[in-house]
Amino acid sequence: MNKKVYIETYGCQMNVADSETVAGIMHSRDYSAETDINSADVIIINTCSVRDNAEKKIWNRLDYIKSLKRKNKNLKVGIIGCMAQRIAEKLLEHPVVDFVAGPDAYRNLPDLVSETDIGFKLSNTDFDISETYSGIEQLKTGTDEISGFVAITRGCNNFCSYCIVPYTRGRERSSSYKDIIAEVKSLANKGFKEVTLLGQNVNSYLFEDDENKVDFPLLIKMVAHTVPEMRVRFTTSHPKDISDALIDAIAENKNICNHIHLPVQSGSNKVLELMNRKYTREWYLERIKTIKEKIPDCGLSSDIFCGFSGETEEDFQETLDLMNIVGYDLAFMFKYSVRPGTAASKNLEDDVPEEAKKERLSRMIKVQNKISLAKNRADIGKTYEVLVEGHSKRSEEMLFGRTEQSKVVVFPAENAKRGDFVMVKITEASSATLKGIIV
Ligand code: SAH
Ligand code: SF4
Ligand code: F3S
């Protein structure tokens, strides 16, 4: 009889893609995908370590799973992903955890699971620099998926001083462009309408073989030409690698979406240097200026966090000032959380008091809400192509989808359905969403 595996995913889009890879690996070894945690034979939790909060969530979840294990003595529980890599031993000490596997150890996961049959707890957190999971058929659980991810690089070499990712994901490696093109084609054949190329520093992609040397601008053009009917997106770009060639590729290829997620983290040169971000405020703003010149309707989004070591009120003001200059459509905002083992945790004092971090974060969110509202109001009267993603939560008669700038639009369904491209005229705007009508 098939065993049923339930996979729960936390963290970034890379983890979402990895969970599909893991589902594919388990499926190839006779596991079927289960969507109800209560009916599973094996529960796998794919975890994130990026901030302390992310890990707290997992500990709480494990406490809940304890009750499931009481009901089903044969239930197996595994932790994979970044937290598994970071604190495998500690996780194994938790009474419900049977196995732990790091991000480079998924290929042999079914073996690891069956080896726990004899009652031992097991873990595999070996790094494997050659592991790109190419050739593995991912398993998507939705029935009419429209938007898919393809991981083109894994790992990160940047060692931003605050960040745990280089320690949990290992060194950066790029997949073969041939494998990437094959994966994108397979998504197109399955009816997908959109593909997002993924990497921690996606625009540092570089793959060389005997025939070619392919960098990110070339790769994204190859992808765009391979699937002209599909939207092509990419994330996350590092500001140091936003080249003119990449901006030109976006500007010149209709199906590469006019949206760049370009995390700035801070607007202060002093803080950027302490963060080891490898660019200055001036460099960043020059890149934004070039983007706006070459792609006038480009959507811009960012990750920003406050309260990093050494951040004064003046430094923080520089961040708010930069946010106003750029005018992000959307920003993901956080407060600094020390990650054990990182350079910052060893060399820098976590010297901004928690209260000040909270207060700065709430000011930052207020500033961004105001910017988002102004940016969204400026869209009123314009018409955008929208890829329909589904019914709006509030009403069956309303659909929602995204513009190529990645803004969410809600509109009356008419005869449109999930997966359609429709032209929508914007009639109303709040800081979070646009409303419109199909024209
Ligand atoms: N590779 C991407 C994303 C990394 S994690 C990049 O370089 O942009 C996503 C975001 O989490 C980061 O961009 C950063 O804003 C935030 N982040 C990372 N480490 C953090 C920490 N220790 N405390 C608070 N926020 C953090
Ligand atoms: Fe972390 Fe920096 Fe790498 Fe992003 S680029 S994953 S923030 S080390
Ligand atoms: Fe989290 Fe790991 Fe992604 S730490 S953000 S799941 S790479």
Of all residues in the chain, the percent with pLDDT exceeding 90 is 95
Kindly give the distance from the C-alpha atom of residue 52 to the centroid of ligand 3, in angstroms, as a whole number: 12
Beta strands (DSSP E) in 137-188 are: 147-151, 153-154, 173-174
Q: Whose CA is nearest to atom 5 of ligand 2?
A: 158
**What is the per-residue pLDDT for 356?**
98
**What is the per-residue pLDDT for 19?**
96
**What is the per-residue pLDDT for 145?**
86
Mean pLDDT of the chain: 96
Of all residues in the chain, the percent with pLDDT exceeding 70 is 99
Residue 42 has pLDDT above 80, yes or no: yes
Kindly give the distance from the C-alpha atom of residue 163 to the centroid of ligand 1, in angstroms, as a whole number: 6
Among 105, 124, 143, identify where a domain stops: 124
**What is the per-residue pLDDT for 143?**
61
Half-sphere exposure (Cβ direction) of 228: Cα atoms closer than 13 Å: 3
Q: What is the mean pLDDT of residues 420-428?
A: 98
Assigned domain for 400 exists: yes
Residue 54 has pLDDT above 70, yes or no: yes
Assigned domain for 144 exists: no
Q: Which ligand has its closest atom nearest to the C-alpha of 17?
A: 3
Residue 135 has pLDDT above 90, yes or no: no
Assigned domain for 45 exists: yes
Assigned domain for 101 exists: yes
Rounded Cα–Cα distance for residues 286 and 159 (Å): 24
Domain count along the chain = 2
Q: Which ligand has its closest atom nearest to the C-alpha of 344?
A: 1
pLDDT in tens, 156-175: 999 999 999 999 999 999 99
Residue 385 has pLDDT above 70, yes or no: yes
Note down the domain range covering 397.
Answer: 383-438
Residue 354 has pLDDT above 80, yes or no: yes
pLDDT in tens, 9-36: 999 999 999 999 999 999 999 999 999 9
Assigned domain for 361 exists: no
H helix runs in 296-342, sequence order: 313-326
pTM value is 0.96
Assigned domain for 415 exists: yes
Residue 142 has pLDDT above 70, yes or no: no
Q: What is the mean pLDDT of residues 122-151?
A: 89
Which atom of ligand 2 is found nearest the CA of 276?
2
User: Quick one: which of 164, 159, 172, 148 has its CA closest to 232?
Assistant: 148
H helix runs in 339-425, sequence order: 343-347, 354-377
Q: Which ligand has its closest atom nearest to the C-alpha of 200?
A: 1
User: Quick one: which of 11, 155, 157, 173 has its CA closest to 83?
Assistant: 11
Evaluate whether 43 touches 65 at the Cβ level (below 8 Å).
Answer: yes
Which atom of ligand 3 is found nearest the CA of 49?
4
Assigned domain for 13 exists: yes
Residues with a CB atom less than 6 Å from ligand 1: 50-51, 162-163, 165, 200, 236, 238, 263, 265, 303, 305, 334, 336-337, 339
Kindly give the distance from the C-alpha atom of residue 215 to the centroid of ligand 1, in angstroms, as a whole number: 24
pLDDT in tens, 290-333: 999 999 999 999 999 999 999 999 999 999 999 999 999 999 99
pLDDT in tens, 216-273: 999 999 999 999 999 999 999 999 999 999 999 999 999 999 999 999 999 999 999 9
Among 72, 89, 124, identify where a domain stops: 124
Q: Whose CA is nearest to atom 1 of ligand 1?
A: 200
- Most ligand 3 atoms within 8 A of CB, residue of 86, 165, 200, 201 to mutate: 165
Cβ partners under 8 Å of residue 419, min gap 6: 144, 146, 191, 193, 387, 388
Q: Which ligand has its closest atom nearest to the C-alpha of 264?
A: 1
Which atom of ligand 1 is found nearest the CA of 303?
15
Kindly give the distance from the C-alpha atom of residue 263 to the centroid of ligand 1, in angstroms, as a whole number: 8
Which atom of ligand 2 is found nearest the CA of 303?
7
Residues with a CB atom less than 6 Å from ligand 2: 156, 158-160, 163, 165-166, 200-201, 238
Residue 140 has pLDDT above 90, yes or no: no
Residue 1 has pLDDT above 90, yes or no: no
Kindly give the distance from the C-alpha atom of residue 253 to the centroid of ligand 1, in angstroms, as a whole number: 29
Give the rounded distance of the alpha carbon of 335 from its chain centre: 18
Kindly give the distance from the C-alpha atom of residue 317 to the centroid of ligand 1, in angstroms, as a whole number: 20
Residue 433 sits in a domain whose CATH number is: 2.40.50.140
Q: What is the mean pLDDT of residues 64-70?
A: 93
Evaluate whether 122 touches 84 at the Cβ level (below 8 Å).
Answer: no
Which atom of ligand 3 is found nearest the CA of 169?
7
Q: Tell me how crowded residue 346 is: count the other CB atoms within 10 A of its CB.
A: 9
Residue 37 sits in a domain whose CATH number is: 3.40.50.12160
Structure tokens at 87: 């604190």
Among 64, 93, 124, identify where a domain stops: 124
Which atom of ligand 3 is found nearest the CA of 200?
7
pLDDT in tens, 191-223: 999 999 999 999 999 999 999 999 999 999 999
**What is the per-residue pLDDT for 2?**
85
Is 164 near ligand 3, meaning CB less than 6 Å away? yes
Assigned domain for 9 exists: yes
Q: Residue type at 362?
A: S
Kindly give the distance from the C-alpha atom of residue 131 to the centroid of ligand 1, in angstroms, as a whole number: 23
